[in-house]
Amino acid sequence: MERENYKRHSTEGQQNKLQRPFNNTISAIFIFGDSTVDSGNNDYIKTAAKSNFPPYGKDFVNHTPTGRFTNGRLVTDFIAEYIGLKETVPPYLDPNLNLDELLTGVSFASAGTGYDPLTAQISSVIPIQDQLLYFREYKSRIAFAVGQEKANSIINKAAYIISCGTNDFVVNYFSTPFRRYSFSVSSYMNFVLHNLQQLAQGLVEEGAEKIALVGLPPMGCLPIMITLNEGFSDSRQCIDKFSSVARDYNKVLKKIVKSMQLYHPTNPNFKVVYGNIYDPLEDMIIRNPQKYGFSDVNTGCCGTGLIEGAILCNPESSICSDASQNVFWDSVHPTETTYYHLFKALHSTSDPGNNNYISTPFKSNFPPYGRDFFNQIPTGRFSNGRLANDYIANYLGIKDYVPPYLDSSLSMEELMTGVSFASAGSGFDPLTPTLSNVISMSSQLEYLKEYKSRLAEKIGMDKTEDVIRKSLFLVSAGTNDFVVNYFTIPIRRRNYTIPLYIDFCLQHLQHFMQGILDVGARHIGVAGLPPMGCLPIVITLYSKNPFTDRGCISNFSDIAQSYNQKLQSQLNSIQAGLADQGHKIGYLDIYGPLADMTAQAEKYDFKEVNSGCCGTGYVEASYLCNPKSYVCEDASKYVFWDSIHPTQRSYDIVSQSLQPTIDSIVH
């Protein structure tokens, strides 16, 4: 399936386009780095590190060798097309670029370069520091063409990608003795990362606000590294001592990314993200090559595939019959197919929403959802940005946001630090997920058991049980049981009064709790219901005059309070029976903070409390809130994003109110 999907998007047939999101936020794309993102700048300088001849470009438009070190497009080309800017990112040094090409973004990258200035000297290419100088020159050019104000807007709203570092180790440190005289591996890593940070800071000073810093690949799996260190034997396995350097480097880079983001708390538009290419490449090469349709993972398509790169891969070289079956094009660089899968992985790492991966109308993986998320990506979260559980994960120092379990591209690190099994539209009543065709709570429990097995296979059962034992489990459901199910359709009302239905739902919650306890959960927080009568959709459907009287409907909120009181008693009973075994179970009050926000809007500087930001705010949710919907200018002034779900700011406030309870559960 992956292979067929790739072929539909292959650049050999340009009528087939990547599906683009609705983009009115990213003005341009600017690329800095080495051969992984160089679209041909080396064509215009004196260097042997060129690829502007066949068989390079074999699968590019019209089979043109462009200077890209692959058979077709690069990952940055796929990204540029996906965000709706252009199908390929041109090199800045191309003298024939028109103004439109300049305004929508260029690549300053140079194959063979690195963050270490010596790396560029070895290959006679453009140092990364000079790429920043070219960018400053670029700014002057466009300011002259379109005026300073418009130029500043383009610079501020652009996406910046920095992908470099492999040559510092492969071409420089491990291949020549110069740096090894003065640096250990760890000190050289710090030296390289310091230079990376200086480049990123230089871009920030020039006006960059959206920056992706790409990590290193599993260097020990590059065909040239295998050849140089193991020779030409038939045993061609990845060399972990080189890949481990990349892993250590990536860990430090993630910390740099986090620290850079923290340095700019007053600028809501400032985003720095880590681009993980290590895990997806490792998955393609080692764990699941068949998943991607690869049959050759340790030699390149060009020549022997053992040593060829640049001028050694030339018109006289033999070529494999189908490059899409190879991870690598030459002995260093991936094929276009690999870059396409990397693009998908880089997109998916910011795509948490389990409903994205099932057939259901309850989706939100399209604008304007995600308008205020990282890089303005609609992830499947039913909000304009992050959820309460994202803020809780960040508060605990685990991660900035919790990804969905059904995202197949998740790395082992992502899995080990936590995932969400939740499904929008689900509930404790088995009928509720059936109505919405979403993932039931029982199925979510089965996914948890599957997750435990996956971890055990990778890290062993003892370590897996330790991870489970020390994890925080958050359970939040029940609203749909009443709003989508009980009050909307008559099936349950025929057999249950409201008190009996509350007991029915809590009985299923108890069964679910027992299930996660059996898996090994020790720290559990269970959320109650919100003030349901204050949800915009409930006001619209049940108010006598929804257009003039939009106050909360007390009897619906009273039901939520009754449910919450019984839930607290139930949790106290469970806790009492397990306290001597080290379990900590807590009630998470979301009713109180949400009721306070709607009752005392001025206290939180909210302007609108009874309608959502999207559309009229009265009935819109899921597909009714879409790219054609009107959206309020500042969602932070609204309690609700659509007619059911809170805004990112509301979730932030709720999560802050929960912090004392979270502390009591985890400590």
pLDDT at 163: 97
Mean pLDDT in residue range 445-450: 94
Q: Cβ-count burial of 426 within 10 angstroms (0-12 exposed, 13-18 middle, 19+ buried)?
A: buried
**How far from 329 is each of 22, 42, 69, 87, CA to CA, in Å?**
33, 19, 8, 21
Where does the pLDDT of residue 1 fall: very low under 50, low under 70, confident under 90, or very high at 90 and above? very low
- Those residues whose C-beta lies under 8 Å from the C-beta of residue 47, and which sit 6 or more positions away, are 112, 123, 124, 125
642 is catalytic: yes
Percentage with pLDDT > 70 across the chain: 94
- 264 falls in which pLDDT band (50, 70, 90)? low
Return the pLDDT at 357. Answer: 87
Q: Which of 330, 351, 372, 642 is catalytic?
A: 642
SS (H, E, C) 211-268: EEEECCCCHHHCHHHHHHHHCCCCCCCCCHHHHHHHHHHHHHHHHHHHHHHHCCCCCC
Give the C-alpha separation, 373 to 34, whole Å. Answer: 29
**What value does the mean pLDDT take over residues 538-550?**
87
Please give the distance of CA 366 from its chain centroid, rounded to a whole number: 15
The predicted pLDDT at position 515 comes to 95
How far is the C-alpha of 486 from the C-alpha of 492, rounded, in Å? 6
Instruction: Summarize pLDDT for 562-608 with one digit per residue, the tens.
Output: 999 999 999 999 998 887 788 999 999 999 999 999 999 999 999 99
Q: What is the pLDDT of residue 9?
A: 35
In this model, does residue 310 exceed pLDDT 90?
no
Cβ(115)–Cβ(165) below 8 Å = yes
pLDDT band for position 213 (50/70/90)? Answer: very high
For residues 258 and 189, give the distance between their C-alpha atoms in angstroms, rounded to a whole number: 18
For the entire predicted model, the pTM comes to 0.56
pLDDT for res 376: 87
Q: Would you say residue 611 has pLDDT above 70?
A: yes
- Of 253-267, 358-372, 558-572, 580-594, give the range with the top mean pLDDT: 558-572
Here the tokens at position 493 are: 């009302």
| Of 64-68, 434-438, 637-641, the least confident | 434-438
Residue spans of beta strands (DSSP E) within 99-207: 159-163
Q: How far apart are CA 326 and CA 532, in angstroms?
A: 54
Set 27, 107, 163, 348: catalytic member: 348
Helix (H) or strand (E) holding 450: helix 441-459
pLDDT in tens, 469-481: 999 999 999 999 9
Work out the pLDDT band at 548, boundaries 50, 70, 90. confident
Q: Do 281 and 221 form a contact (C-beta atoms < 8 A)?
A: yes
Indicate if the pLDDT at residue 268 is higher than 90. Answer: no
Sign of CA dihedral 463, 585, 398, 401: positive
- 348 flagged as catalytic: yes
- Least confident residue range of 44-58, 177-191, 363-377, 497-511: 363-377
List, in sequence order, every residue forming a beta bridge with 640; answer none if it has no partner: 612, 646
**Inter-residue contact 213 to 160 (CB < 8 Å):** no
pLDDT at 60 over 90: yes
Q: Choosing from 383, 409, 645, 652, which is the catalytic residue?
A: 645
Q: Both tokens of residue 499? A: 């008190």
In this structure, of 39-48, 342-351, 378-387, 559-568, the range with the lowest mean pLDDT score is 342-351
Q: Which residues pair with 161 in a beta bridge?
A: 31, 212
Q: Residue 242: is its pLDDT beyond 80?
A: yes
Q: What is the mean pLDDT of the chain?
A: 89
Decide if pLDDT at 136 tops 50.
yes
Instruction: Tell me which of 274-278, 408-412, 626-630 is least confident.
Output: 408-412
408 included as an active-site residue: no
Chain-centre distance for alpha carbon 429: 32
Burial class (CB in 10 A: 0-12, 13-18, 19+), 374: middle
- Tell me, what's the pLDDT at 624? 85
Tokens 């780095």 belong to 33
Predicted confidence at residue 623, as pLDDT, reads: 83
Average pLDDT over residues 350-372: 81
Give pLDDT, residue 267: 65
Burial class of residue 248 in the structure, from the number of CB atoms within 10 Å of its CB (0-12 exposed, 13-18 middle, 19+ buried): middle
Nearest-5° angle of CA 467, CA 468, CA 472?
Answer: 100
User: What are the Cα distances from residue 412, in Å, to 253, 419, 434, 454, 467?
Assistant: 18, 11, 31, 9, 13
Question: Phi-psi category of 101—alpha, beta or left, where left has phi over 0 and alpha has psi -120 to 50?
Answer: alpha
Q: Are 251 and 189 in contact (CB under 8 A)?
A: no
Is residue 167 over pLDDT 50? yes
Q: How many secondary structure helices (H) and strands (E) does the chain include?
A: 25, 11
Residue 18 has pLDDT above 90, yes or no: no
Q: How confident is the model at residue 461, as a pLDDT?
A: 95
User: Can you tell me whether residue 32 is helix, strand or coil?
Assistant: strand
Query: Residue 204 pLDDT > 70, yes or no?
Result: yes
Q: What is the 3-state secondary structure (H, E, C) of 330-386?
A: CCCCECHHHHHHHHHHHHHCCCCCHHHHCCCCCCCCCCCCCCCCHHHCCCCCCCCCC
